[in-house]
Amino acid sequence: MEPGTVTEAELQKVGKILLNSNASLAERFRALFTLMSINGPDAVNIICETFKDPSELLKHELAFCLGQMQDLTALPKLGEVLEDTNEAIIVRHEAGEAIGALGQMDSLPLLNKYLDHESKVLRQTCELAVMRIKHVNSEKSGPDSPFTSVDPAPAFNQNKTCKELADILLDSERTLFDRYRAMFSLRNLSTPESIDALVKGLDCDDSALFRHEVAYVLGQMADTHAVEGLSQKLRDMSDDPMVRHEAAEALGAVDDPRCKEILAKHLTDTDLMVKQSCEIALDMNESETEHQFQYADTLQKIRNS
């Protein structure tokens, strides 16, 4: 969506919904993704302003969207969030990943400060961000992807078999960057065999960051073949909430009647982030199962009102 097709009044109305802490989280997420599709500095400013909200889930998603929007005006705010020791690790992690997504060499000194951080999630996030920035600035490019996301690591250029990619994905002795590259290569293959390999990745590693990214990738694929693996991960109360929350959101992206039932069972989950993720995922799932034109529909609703 081009910024020029949206009036300033419409943009502010969408922003008002995002900033409204009394609105449902589902409404605010739809507004957020509407702003992401509108893009431009004004949309970025509204998203940045929303970081004052107490919801960790929402703030984590704000950072994700800023990385995807590829607007460098977001960098100062993302750096501020990354360095905020009062902020939740999952929010700081997403800010670090977004900085990596923006790909600026000038960001390396900030990211390097966290390569020995006590939080493994934050440490690994910044390590991946550093590797991605160096990679994209080395004039190397990955293969064309059927997905439109800005990924934390590029797929491999070489033609590797599904088994070769699965072996890399599941090998804890390989660098995390290579394992992520295998992950996105398996996503791009989009076969039952590649999904099976990714589902194994949900349990294969002691890195919550790694497992959460596998769940995210399976959500992008939105294939019914992954439903059972994702539902098992959502039910696993022993796993990190950042993994379970991502499994919930991945289930919300799949057009399968089983997902609604699975997610509904966790609307009273003891972890707030998981509970809220299931609320959002059910809203997303409704969009999928009713074949709505798009999830980010706040602007259209405003125009129809």
CATH assignment of the domain containing 167? 1.25.10.10
Q: Based on the fold, state whether residues 153 and 130 are members of the same structural domain.
A: no
pLDDT of residue 294: 55
Q: Based on the fold, state whether residues 45 and 56 are members of the same structural domain.
A: yes
Q: Based on the fold, state whether residues 110 and 205 are members of the same structural domain.
A: no
Q: Based on the fold, state whether residues 240 and 154 are members of the same structural domain.
A: yes
Specify if 300 maps to a domain.
Answer: no
Q: Give me the number of domains the chain comprises.
A: 2
Q: Based on the fold, state whether residues 152 and 172 are members of the same structural domain.
A: yes
Residue 55 three-state SS = coil
Q: Which domain holds residue 96?
A: 1-140
Specify if 250 maps to a domain.
Answer: yes
pLDDT of residue 296: 66
Q: Based on the fold, state whether residues 231 and 127 are members of the same structural domain.
A: no
Q: Based on the fold, state whether residues 73 and 157 are members of the same structural domain.
A: no
pLDDT of residue 86: 97
Contact 41, 295 (CB under 8 A): no
- List Cβ neighbours of 78 (8 Å cut-off, separation of 6 or more): 63, 66, 67, 95, 98, 99, 102
Of 89, 121, 140, which residue constitutes the final position of a domain? 140
User: Tens-of-pLDDT digits for all 305 residues of the chain?
Assistant: 544 588 999 999 999 999 999 999 999 999 999 999 999 999 999 999 999 999 999 999 999 999 999 999 999 999 999 999 999 999 999 999 999 999 999 999 999 999 999 999 999 999 999 999 999 999 766 677 788 899 999 999 888 999 999 999 999 999 999 999 999 999 999 999 999 999 999 998 789 999 999 999 999 999 999 999 999 999 999 999 999 999 999 999 999 999 999 999 999 999 999 999 999 999 998 875 444 445 667 777 777 77
Q: Based on the fold, state whether residues 136 and 166 are members of the same structural domain.
A: no
Specify if 301 maps to a domain.
Answer: no
The HSE-up count of residue 106 (CA atoms within 13 Å, CB side) is 5
Phi, psi of 177 (to 5 degrees): -65, -45
Selection from 132, 84, 88 nearest residue 108 by Cα: 132
Global confidence as pTM: 0.93
Of 140, 168, 195, which residue constitutes the final position of a domain? 140
Of 140, 161, 176, which residue constitutes the final position of a domain? 140
pLDDT of residue 300: 76
Q: How far is CA 200 from the centre of its chain?
A: 20
Q: Based on the fold, state whether residues 111 and 158 are members of the same structural domain.
A: no
pLDDT of residue 225: 96
Q: Based on the fold, state whether residues 46 and 4 are members of the same structural domain.
A: yes
Specify if 180 maps to a domain.
Answer: yes
**C-alpha–C-alpha distance, residues 131 and 282, integer Å:** 35
Specify if 282 maps to a domain.
Answer: yes
Specify if 298 maps to a domain.
Answer: no
**Angle in degrees, CA 62, 150, 287, rounded to 5:** 60
**C-alpha–C-alpha distance, residues 77 and 123, integer Å:** 19
pLDDT of residue 181: 96
Nearest 10 degrees: Cα torsion 183, 184, 185, 190:
100
Contact 14, 299 (CB under 8 A): yes
- How many residues does this entry show for the chain? 305
Helices (H) and strands (E) in the chain, counts: 17, 0
Q: Based on the fold, state whether residues 222 and 89 are members of the same structural domain.
A: no
Contact 162, 113 (CB under 8 A): no
Specify if 60 maps to a domain.
Answer: yes
**C-alpha–C-alpha distance, residues 217 and 202, integer Å:** 11
Q: What tokens were used for 120?
A: 């493994």
Q: Which helix (H) or strand (E) holds 285?
A: helix 272-289
**Angle in degrees, CA 117, 122, 126, rounded to 5:** 95
Specify if 299 maps to a domain.
Answer: no
**C-alpha–C-alpha distance, residues 248 and 235, integer Å:** 10
pLDDT of residue 291: 43
Q: Based on the fold, state whether residues 4 and 132 are members of the same structural domain.
A: yes
**C-alpha–C-alpha distance, residues 76 and 239, integer Å:** 33
